[in-house]
Chain A
Amino acid sequence: MPFSRAINAGLRAALSGSDRVLLMGEDIGKLGGVFRVTEGLQAEFGEQRVLDTPLAESGLVGTAIGLAMAGFRPVVEIQFDGFVFPAFDQITTQLAKLTNRHEGALQMPVVIRIPYGGHIGAVEHHQESPEAYFTHTAGLRVVSPSTPNDGYWMIQDAIASPDPVIFLEPKSKYWQKGEVDTSARALPLHASRIVRRGTDITLVGHGAMVTTMLQAAALAEAEGTSIEVVDLRSLSPVDYGPILDSVRRTGRMVYAQEAPGFTSLGSEVAASVMERAFYALEAPVLRVSGFDVPFPPAKLEGAYLPDADRILEAVDRSLAY
């Protein structure tokens, strides 16, 4: 089933499972959202469970906070990554801190779904990778599924979490198909996963970059290099176990991401792996990133986004140490 349908099925399961779950967003009802992720849900669950809200992002997140205070579990859809910033204050100043400010007396089970990242040739402010803003904020959990099966399960786990979850959906994957096993969850929400075994070097990344890393691994194999690929899945907290295991076996690591590299998630993971597995490393941990420029116009995104070749260039540099 396609990734977008898998998230849709996960949302349906959560809506059926508890009548405290609400979906809120712009155009998510009749239209089913601009990416159709919520298609059919309003018809099935009614206008009070799937709300077409006024066009106001701060209002959307701020009222979701109030609804959580009133005992609901709101799932907010932000239409595109570039439009989350009007709500940034409510997310970082309010949502992230309210459990702490209430000394644990109040939980904030709010999920914010954000389609993010490039690869779709969109116009300005429709392709961004804002994950570091959220991973930098204590109190938020940040996750990003990269497969339909993860989309189906992780959205349900995010909704079940008593903490606020920023749920980043790699928008270029919405049409990608994959197996969904609705009978059993593969991994907990905050586990990372080795998606391809290899012996020479470890590639780590998340979201749409997982596909790119797998392409790089396939190309490298033809040339005799064995690459292991780790899908982070949870961006905050990071599950270092599988990453460190892998690095201890391969001795090398490259982090690949679409976001600009400066003070990014890749910087954090690289530094942490160096602190924790220094003696296992044969080479410094390298990062492959978007450049530190505004996400360029679509005609240049191919030059901006790391592709398999840019990843392999870093792999070669690492192996040359």
Chain B
Amino acid sequence: MIPVDDAALVRFLEADGTFAPSPAAEPYRQAVESLSDADLETFYRDMAVIRAFDVQATNLQRQGQLALWPPSYGQEAAQVGSARAARAQDHLFPSYREHVVTKIRGVDPIDIIRVMRGLTHGGWDPTDPKNGNTHIYTLVLGSQTLHATGFGMGLVFDGRCGTGDLDRDEAVIVYYGDGASSQGDVHEAMVFAGSYRTPEVFFLQNNQWAISVPVATQSRSPLYKRGEGYGMPSTLIDGNDVLASWAVTRTALDEARAGGGPQAIEAMTYRLGAHTTSDDPTKYRTSDEEESWRRRDPIARMKAFLIGKGASDAFFADVDAESQALADDVRTRTNALGGLERDDMFAHVYSEQHPLVDEQRQWLADYEASFEGGAS
């Protein structure tokens, strides 16, 4: 059975959309009640729109347009809540499934498509302000937790946190999964984060499965409890409740940015889709299990809550239109993506000139040229 009823669990919205804060949610209640209707609608819009993108990208992969697609279907609430909780000056280190996190920060979704289409190993420039300090995807599990921690150390050394100015002090959030939590790098990252008191939130999306391996194989104790061992305040949230995700992450980031040191959050959620488009979930999990989580869908839950608060049909229609428009736009732009030049593989291997690379670039150019003018 999937442990979602722990007394420590922070949850505001029941699966049917009823607003019923759990006892552990009480400390965050005021923050959630301060959200405006427009904020709440934004959360819903973010989740619904990215789901349309995700479905479109899955289809594009099926049609041979992408090499691979890691769906985010089902995990939208954990991602939207945490990303909306970050302040503009914060730095985000995603893994490879955080499509809506990157979109909220300004990364153009086509840049993710370019990675999955085999056009780049990166996709965007984290230092370009339009990308909202969002780092590129990392496919080697757990590696990015160390990069985020090192970045956080830099913030500490430069006095860019802990001054007491919430609008200026910077923090870091790093995303990883329940499978990745077994990697040594995650543990070393937590050791360094604790030692240097980095302004950092370790955001674990426990979607119950690491490809085909259940979370019980990664850990026999609740993952959020691991944070305590490294001296971090650690919180368990219902990851399918966007309000819990927002409130707890906002608090944790603000405490971290104020000098409180690193924090850990485990978001209990579920990957409703396949791990990636290469995966067949029917081989390792039951439809009963999937069905039980489908009933806790984060988007349906928020929709019911908003309807209860009186959100208009026009609002939902508008979200649907935006979703459709994004999906269409992504399809059009994917089809229009060009190829790469052969020379591109030699670019940016080093920042400074490198004779071996220069020589091989030249060799390939001469080799290619030898066919053009040659007899045929």
- Seen from chain A, the residues whose Cβ lies within 8 Å of a Cβ on chain B are 22, 48, 53-54, 56, 58-59, 61-72, 86, 89-90, 93-94, 97, 99-108, 138-139, 141, 161-163, 236-239
Contacts and interface: CB of A to CB of B under 8 A. Distances in A.
B349 A66 contact: no
B121 A104 contact: no
- Judged by DSSP, the binding face of B is helix
B371 interface: no
Nearest to A139: B349
Contacts of B155: 70
A58 B348 contact: no
Contact of B158 (A58, A70, A86, A104): A70
B127 A106 contact: yes
A100 to B, nearest CB: 5
Nearest to A93: B140
B150 interface: yes
Contacts of B244: none
B354 interface: yes
Contacts of B149: 59, 62-63, 66
Contacts of B122: 100-103, 105
Given A69-B150, A103-B122, A163 B352 contact: yes
B146 A66 contact: yes
B351 A65 contact: no
A62 B136 contact: no
Given A66-B152, A101-B121, A237 B356 contact: yes
A62 B143 contact: yes
Interface in B348-364: 348-352, 354-357
Given A48-B157, A163-B352, A100 B121 contact: yes
Contacts of A105: 122, 125-128
B351 A90 contact: no
Interface stretch (B183-191, B234-242, B301-309): B183-191
A104 B351 CA distance: 7
A53 B188 CA distance: 11
A70 B153 CA distance: 9
A68 B135 CA distance: 13
B151 interface: yes
A198 B188 CA distance: 52
B357 to A, nearest CB: 8
A58 B120 contact: no
B350 A63 contact: no
Contact of A100 (B148, B348, B352): B348
Contacts of A108: 351
A97 B151 contact: no
A89 B125 contact: no
Interface string B188-229: 110110010000000000000000000000000000000000
B287 to A, nearest CB: 37
Interface in B270-285: none
B153 A66 contact: yes
Contact of B192 (A59, A86, A94): A59
29 contacts: A56-B192, A58-B185, A62-B143, A62-B146, A62-B147, A62-B149, A62-B185, A62-B189, A66-B147, A66-B148, A66-B149, A66-B154, A67-B150, A67-B151, A89-B185, A93-B143, A97-B121, A100-B121, A100-B122, A101-B136, A102-B122, A105-B126, A105-B127, A105-B128, A106-B126, A108-B351, A162-B351, A162-B352, A238-B356
Contacts of A239: 355
A160 to B, nearest CB: 10
Contacts of A62: 143, 145-147, 149-150, 185, 188-189
Given A66-B147, A67-B151, 6 more contacts: A54-B195, A62-B185, A63-B146, A67-B153, A69-B147, A104-B347
B354 A237 contact: yes
Contacts of B349: 99-100, 138-139
Contact of B350 (A22, A93, A106, A141): A141
A276 B287 CA distance: 64
Contacts of A68: 150
